[in-house]
Copies of this chain bind each other. A is one copy, B any other.
Amino acid sequence: MVFSTAVLDTVDELCHTVADLHGELTRNELVIWTAGNVSARVPGEDLMVIKPSGVSYDELAADKMVVTDLHGELVHGNLAPSSDTAAHAYVYQHMPEVGGVVHTHSTYATAWAARGEPIPCVLTMIADEFGGEIPVGPFAMIGDDSIGRGIVETLRGSRSPAVLMRNHGPFTVGPDARAAVKAAVMVEDVARTVHIARQLGDPKPLDQKDIDRLHERYRNVYGQQEIR
């Protein structure tokens, strides 16, 4: 496939970004061995940048990343794309607002997924980032559209950028790859905290109107929007 210079520059930059963001997965202890992946949509193109399959995180430099179309077919790069490529591609095809997708098997989020139980919204941090409970998606086989379909159908009815795929693990989305990685870090953190809270009793529920106010405020005033 021949890219224009502008697309080539964007792809090159995204390869660096995506390679670096895999470092956040290991640093935040969300993945072991090669079991997790980050992708980014190439804006304005029907393309995505994703991790190659079965390559260890130490070797994941920008030049190892691969580019596929939104059917998961390799268009650039020397390695086979991640075995989760079909799921990422399906999400980009059906959720145009999504610019980044992350998949891990992080321990606590996967434990909720193994029970098929959503994470209840009992912390201000969950209201902030997820806007309510974190939902469970269906059990789906790896390799075809099933996982992608399950992700999209579950996230459409939710404010959450994270879905716990049953017996499998979390997928997260965001406007860009960094936001999707942030959601992957946060979903494991709240999965762990609520798990631990539940071990010795029942967390106090939050009122729906408090959840709404917290989520609204977080989306609008948190960070450096105001004066940067």
Contact = CB atoms under 8 A, between A and B. Distances in A.
A114 B204 contact: yes
A32 interface: yes
B107 A192 contact: yes
A8 interface: no
A226 interface: yes
The 7 A-B pairs of least Cβ separation, nearest first, read A54-B223, A114-B203, A114-B197, A111-B197, A111-B196, A124-B168, A115-B201
A87 B108 CA distance: 31
Contacts of A108: 196
A158 to B, nearest CB: 20
Interface residues of A, number: 65
A172 interface: no
Q: Is the interface of A mostly helix, strand, loop or mixed?
A: loop
29 contacts: A28-B32, A32-B186, A33-B182, A54-B222, A54-B224, A74-B227, A78-B227, A79-B224, A80-B224, A80-B228, A105-B125, A107-B193, A110-B123, A110-B193, A111-B199, A112-B197, A114-B193, A114-B204, A115-B197, A115-B201, A115-B202, A117-B201, A123-B169, A124-B142, A125-B168, A139-B206, A141-B210, A166-B204, A195-B200
B203 A200 contact: no
B35 A125 contact: yes
Interface stretch (A92-100, A148-156, A213-221): A213-221
Copies in the complex: 4
A33 B186 contact: yes
Contacts of A210: 139, 141
Contact of A224 (B52, B192, B224): B52
A61 to B, nearest CB: 16
A83 interface: yes
A162 interface: no
A193 B53 contact: no
